[in-house]
Amino acid sequence: MAEVDLRIPTGVTWRRCVTWADAAGDRISLAGMRARMEIRKRPGGVVYLTISSENGTIALEADEVAGSAVGVVTLTIPGPLSALISVVTAEYDVKLMSATVDGEPSYRLLEGKVTFDLAVTR
């Protein structure tokens, strides 16, 4: 798991690609996986925003990084989804789960703090 703080502008599309790899740097296949990201004020708090592979806002192995799509997770927050956010700071994590019913095994790919860059123009 990596700790990465994010700055997300509200009201516009935000996109970030990350690569899942083992300790040796070898990419890990995402075949048979699904993913979800939640942004909350604090762990267990109110959910401000959720994106997932199930609703198409997280893509697994759809984009290439350094010539390969293996292990690439693309996070996309559409502008309308973030437009109503009025908080400035929050916390997030990105969880990878097996596509099986019980979601196991599961892994936390990323976590950290979010700073929202609040839009002036609506």
pLDDT in tens, 73-118: 999 999 999 998 999 999 999 999 998 878 788 999 999 999 999 9
- The dotted CATH code for 2-117 is 2.60.40.10
Which band of pLDDT confidence, cut at 50, 70 and 90, is reported for residue 1?
confident
Q: CA dist 83 to 13, 71, 87, 92, Å? A: 10, 30, 11, 18
Give the chain's mean pLDDT.
94
Interval 21-37 mean pLDDT: 94
Q: Tell me which H or E stretch contains 80.
A: helix 79-82
pTM for this prediction: 0.91
Half-sphere exposure of 84 (CA within 13 A, CB side): 4
